Amino acid sequence: MYKIKYIRIGVFLSINNIKLDIEYIRSQFPAFKDPTCKDWSFFENAGGSYVPQTVIDKLNKFMISTKVQPYADYPMSKIAGNQMDESTKLFAEMINAKNNEILIGGSTSINLYVLSNALKSFISPGDEIIVTNQDHEANISPWRRLSESGAKIVEWKMNEKTAELEIEEFEKLLTNKTKIVAVTHCSNIVGSVNNLKKISELSHKKGAIVIGDGVSFAPHGFPNVKNLDVDFYTFSLYKTYGPHLALLYGKEKILKQLPNQNHEFLSGQYPYTINPGGPNHEELVSLSGIYDYILSIYNYHFGNDELSILEKIEKVNQLITSHEEEIANPILDYISCRDDLILIGKNKINNKDRAPTIAFYSKKMSSKSLSALLVKNKIATRNDNFYAWRCLNALGLDPNDGVVRLSMTHYNSIEDTKNLLNALKSI
Ligand SMILES: Cc1ncc(COP(=O)(O)O)c(C=O)c1O
């Protein structure tokens, strides 16, 4: 890495030449030194990511000294409760939400399922709900099920040639009857980033609520939910360097109105009203280790200064984006140039219009065989439909054999890219 001198007058004037220091980044993740993982190039990040030491430390510490029922008056319990509140507060800050606008549940699938049950009461017969055929099923089935309450389900279909969701098509589907729009921020197969801000703006003009699935977006830089102006936004923390949990954000004014899905006496206590069972305590506490990790990336590259956490995240996101472009674009280019391989989605990341989540298949062999060959070459990947079952069907692919998915994140290195290209060349 090369750091350049910057001129600081309240803010940095230039970060153009600061690059993500991949050695520093990888040194934060014990997996890269672990005997089981260290010889592998890890390309399954969209399935679940490795965790930094900061997260492991928080989890360990909690388990040793404060693994008791929180919020009582004895010290261990008080500390446990305070740490849980602190983690929630820090995560809310990171995505520009209020503390009472986020909840931590077991997974995105369960969070959306509970949310859809709550939103059922907003639906009258004849109301319309827009779902896509690009999303993971977690953001489709719960909304489709509202047809049982009389909702008409309208499908926003991808362009079959490009696999993109086109805004012009969406505009044709929106009507005064549209009540809910459920759309992914980034597809876990196509990799494309959808313009959620624009989708929200158009939907709000019709009075519809927007549910954004950020599971494939958030690992590449935490979003600012207020800028996106979505009504609900969700992502899985086990893919953003944490344990197996998921975050759901909701606008306070809507959360307040949702019917209680939790114990009867908790009525009115949003967001717990849509978090039955509550979070896993120790894992929730470990989430503050993600905050520490992101902050450490900022401090290492830019120095400790007075910028707000949102400004710091914005700068860290820029570093991550440039690095991800550097490591993923050669792969996109190579696959798209091979006659026997079919790439899904754009063949280049340009200005974060695509995540480094690369799905493809072969004309000559099954995705299962192709992924087995890559695994033999110490590329950790797999074939599957990744629960984007409708997306694969729409593209005319067999959801059982699926596609091979190479999903990278900021801790992948250019060596991983070379290993992958060598493996592909040998096939
Ligand atoms: C885009 C997308 N949405 C939703 C989900 C579901 O997330 P979870 O496993 O937390 O239920 C996934 C999981 O892979 C996903 O990739």
Instruction: Tell me the per-residue pLDDT of 193-203, one tens digit each, with 9 for 90 and over.
Output: 999 999 999 99
**Sheet architecture: strand order including 232-236:** 102-105, 246-250, 232-236, 209-213, 178-184, 128-132, 152-156
Query: In the numeric block, which tokens belong to residue 211?
Result: 């549910």
Query: In the numeric block, which tokens belong to residue 213?
Result: 């699935």
Does ligand 1 have an atom closer than 6 angstroms to the CB of 184?
A: yes
Question: From the CA of 157, how far away is ligand 1's center (Å)?
Answer: 20
CA distance 385 to 248: 24
Q: How many CB atoms lie within 10 A of CB 207?
A: 10
Q: What percent of the chain is predicted at pLDDT more than 70?
A: 96
CA distance 67 to 12: 42
Does ligand 1 have an atom closer than 6 angstroms to the CB of 213?
A: yes
pLDDT tens digits for range 274-319: 999 999 999 999 999 999 999 999 999 999 889 999 999 999 999 9
- Per-residue model confidence (pLDDT) at position 17: 84
Residue 5 pLDDT greater than 70, yes or no: no
Pocket test for ligand 1, best of 104, 108, 113 (most atoms within 8 A of CB): 108
Does ligand 1 have an atom closer than 6 angstroms to the CB of 109?
A: yes
Please tell me the residue having the least CA distance from ligand 1 atom 14.
47
Do residues 411 and 22 make contact, with C-beta atoms less than 8 angstroms apart?
A: yes
Pairing of strands 178-184, 128-132: parallel
Which of 278, 281, 318, 280 lies closest to 298, judged by CA?
A: 318
- 3-class secondary structure, 360: strand
pLDDT tens digits for range 169-214: 999 999 999 999 999 999 999 999 999 999 999 999 999 999 999 9
Query: In the numeric block, which tokens belong to residue 89?
Result: 């507060």
Does ligand 1 have an atom closer than 6 angstroms to the CB of 45?
A: no
Do residues 24 and 323 make contact, with C-beta atoms less than 8 angstroms apart?
A: no
Helix and strand element counts for the chain (H, E): 15, 15
Does ligand 1 have an atom closer than 6 angstroms to the CB of 140?
A: no
Question: From the CA of 109, how far away is ligand 1's center (Å)?
Answer: 7
Does ligand 1 have an atom closer than 6 angstroms to the CB of 138?
A: yes
CA distance 355 to 192: 6
| Surface-to-core class of residue 266, CB atoms within 10 Å of its CB (0-12 exposed, 13-18 middle, 19+ buried) | middle
Atom of ligand 1 nearest to the CA of 216: 1
Give bridge partners of residue 44 from the DSSP assignment.
Answer: 407
Q: How confident is the model at residue 13 (pLDDT cuts 50, 70, 90)?
A: very low
Do residues 221 and 320 make contact, with C-beta atoms less than 8 angstroms apart?
A: yes
Query: In the numeric block, which tokens belong to residue 319?
Result: 């570093």
- Per-residue model confidence (pLDDT) at position 7: 36
Does ligand 1 have an atom closer than 6 angstroms to the CB of 216?
A: yes
- Per-residue model confidence (pLDDT) at position 91: 96
Q: How confident is the model at residue 42 (pLDDT cuts 50, 70, 90)?
A: very high
* All structural domains of the chain: 8-50+311-425 (3.90.1150.10), 62-289 (3.40.640.10)
pLDDT tens digits for range 256-272: 999 999 999 999 999 99
Asked whether the bond before 271 is cis by omega within 30 degrees of 0, the reply is yes
Residue 251 CA from chain centroid, whole number: 19
Does ligand 1 have an atom closer than 6 angstroms to the CB of 107?
A: yes
